[in-house]
Structure 1
Amino acid sequence: MSRRWLLTVALFCCARLALAQDEPELRVCQTDPGKYAYRIELANLILARTAERYGERRITPRQGVDPSQKRCLALLRQGLVDLAYVPPTAARLRDFAVLPFDLHNGMLGYRVLLIHRADAQRFTQVRSLDDLRRLRGGFGRQWGDFALFARNRLPVVGIAHPENLLPMLAKRRFDYYHRGLHEAWQELQANAERYPELMVEPNLALVYDLPVFFTFNREDRRLRQRFAEGLAAIRADGSFRELFLRHFGHLAELARLHERRWLPIDYPTPQVCRPGTPACGCSPEPSAGYAPRAAIAGRGNGQGATGETAVFRLDQEASDPGLSAKFSPKNKYLTTVSKVVQLVGRHLRTPRGGPRIAAMFTWRDCPS
């Protein structure tokens, strides 16, 4: 065990002990509001809703560099923190208790690329995963979805300390760094003066399933039960929907997802959660609230849908003969049919370079 790790644990514990004297702090090590504002606010909403039965507790956001996910989970396993919010892996599902509900409602699986402005022209030539394989990504090697690079034969530079990714991209140590929609523009804006040469690539998006679960020490059954009760309550009264839309409702338009070329990534979700299943928090009914990753391609001239909002069931042929709604279990995006996706008809024309995806997310309440 390194001296740096021991020092991190000691400082972390001392800080938490000091805070415990002032307020009933829920101990977490993911407290940076720049990265975790939504997850912290969601957890605090659940804690507030269950305070009458379980007592007052809350998470306080703090500026600064958080420990890595690996170290946070080590602290959780040792009982030195109470909660983490991370994507599931087989190992995490084995070692921890989880609340198998995707906190981001499928949103985190839509990824855009941060690139160096000098490389923008190179990325205009990327039309498939094979094209992307000619470039090299950068990513945190301790993050749960790091394995997708090897699985999809994508060259990657694995970084132990994720705070180094932006400066390394600015020095062109690799070609791109993919981020969630709620992360990409916020991180560039926060670092605009330091890295003005970086930008969000405007034409591409990676798409894969990446749920995020509340994760607990296996012995802390009471806290997991509290979060299960609180989550059910805020879903029932609409406050979860309100919070989600406040943080994410604008992102589809900001990212222009309907104009981007989607590159499907093969990344299987652990068996505890499949899109649209009750384990994810939504039933596989047309009213479900999971935002599906549908490969909706324009065919023919797309006439008949232009300027309209069309809704199709993915287990049926689209009503417009010039369009079809397609899904592939091979790509692990839709293993459940009878899902509904909202299409924006004015973007359904097939561009000269081949079919583009023309899908937008829409909110659909999950059954309680």
Structure 2
Amino acid sequence: MRFVTGRSLRLGEGFTQAPFKRRTLLHATSAALAAAMLPTTVRAQSLYPTKAITLIVPNPPGGNTDILARIFSVPLAKALGQPVVVENRAGAGGVIGMTAAARATADGHTLGLGNLSDLVVSRYAQPNVPYDPAKNFAPVSTLAKVSIVVTCLPTFPAKSFQEFLTLAKANPGKYKCGTAGNGTMGHLCLEALQAAAGLDIVHVPYRGGAPALNDLLGGHIDLLIDGSALSQVKAGKLKALAVTAERVAVLPNVPTIGESGVPGFSFGNYWGLLMPAGSPATAVTRINAEIKRLLEQPEIRQQLESAGFSPFASTPVEYGQALQKSYEQIGQLVKKAKITFD
């Protein structure tokens, strides 16, 4: 028998390898058991997402909804470790895109980005909408909100919104206000304003914000209620009389309608992410948490504010409650004014 003396055994020599293997196996087994003992929701959340996320935008490229999608898609993809693919499905006042989002596989890998026009107005202003926003979606998180801007030419006789109210009340039916079309948020805001302030203003609907803006610049209408005029206000080509909900960062000195002679008036729009009903709660929770973190980042907030948005975070429950309130308020307004989409 040969004895080894005067040195330690190297791995692979003699009998030292077997205990090492046993210890390694024991550690691996312990780690596996520990992972198995984690709550199912934690393990599922750690695996989500397992593939690319599709973000459906129910509007054409270049509009507010698309701008929001582009602001969030890249940082959200980085946070999730999977691509976020923006898919524009425009048409029928947002119904085509939101229908696709509602009918997608409820596995947490499809998101819809909607606003009040897509989710609420369409429900009342169009016949046979193939989804119920209150039943066919799982609210995930709000992203941003916006006040609509009331603009006019610098030569318009009213220097403030309060002066405009005085002129409009003294001259019923004289002033023409353009919007991006029947059933748009600008149109709804005008109807709400007329009801709240007792005004008689002629509504001139256009097919989009751009032609309405062109007619305002050309002097063919007196006012415009639409977000498309923001850049022209910054350039000094238009005057902002008021904003419709709360003051915006890019126009800090422009008062709200509520501050300008119509107390309590507030009418804005907001955007949020939704999943098809029945999507995993862990997926909803994960996306909500990531959006909350993104909305706390200064660079994201700066991008939103530069585009005229205000950051607007919420829990899924809060988003669902806000939508329900909007269904009730806007539904009554649409029915009373007999608003329909073109």
TM category, shorter: 0.3 to 0.5
- The higher radius of gyration belongs to 2
Higher relative contact order (Cα pairs below 8 Å, separated by 6+ residues): 2
TM-score (norm 1): 0.45
More helix by share: 2
Normalised by the length of structure 2, the TM-score is: 0.48
